[in-house]
Amino acid sequence: MKKAKFHRDGALTGVRVLVGRAKHQAGALSKELRKHGATVIEIPFIEIREPKSFKPLDAALKNLTTYDWLILTSVNGVEALWGRLGKLGATRALRKLDGTLRIAAIGPATRKAIEQRGLAVNVVPKEYVAESVVRSMRAKVNGKRVLLVRAKVARDVIPRELRRAGAHVDVVEAYETVIPNSSIRAQE
């Protein structure tokens, strides 16, 4: 492998970068890397799919007024939530709750995705991990109803710890991550 050449402007030459993001999310990162001279190889490690059933998510969305907090842990969750709200014709209902329904986002990209849809974000932890979400919210949730919208498979740190802090937490699946068929074929 060639040694990378770093120029004053930070450009990369002779550096190969593997981008493993979902296909629909790799473009911006790959473009930026190429702009700085990197050779980019895109092989998605995950694919985002709809859940097998929307019933739990739909039920929660129809009862949004009963929640004090909404927690979104990824841009994928924001996109899936808004997609479902659109299909249910409930986007306005969520916007009407702005100010009464408090929203937590796991990080700045998730915050941006929420704010681009016209809602304010009340909590973004200093670190973008579940434990930091819990630290940021623990003192705010005693006796509160919390809706956690996330992927099918995720760590249970947030619901477990917020329940210990006295919250009633409903966890609903908005999407699932799977290994793309192209990656499965590559392994065989």
The model's pLDDT over 17-76, given as tens digits with 9 standing for 90+, comes to 988 877 777 888 898 888 888 899 888 887 888 999 999 999 999 999 999 999 999 999
Query: What is the side-by-side strand order in the sheet with 168-178?
Result: 47-49, 168-178, 145-151, 69-72, 102-105
pLDDT tens string 3-30: 555 554 557 888 899 888 777 778 888 9
Instruction: Name the residue ranges covered by the structural domains of the chain.
Output: 5-45, 49-177
Identify the weakest region by mean pLDDT among 12-21, 27-36, 106-115, 177-186.
177-186
pTM of the model: 0.79
Fold assignment, 49-177:
Rossmann fold (3.40.50)
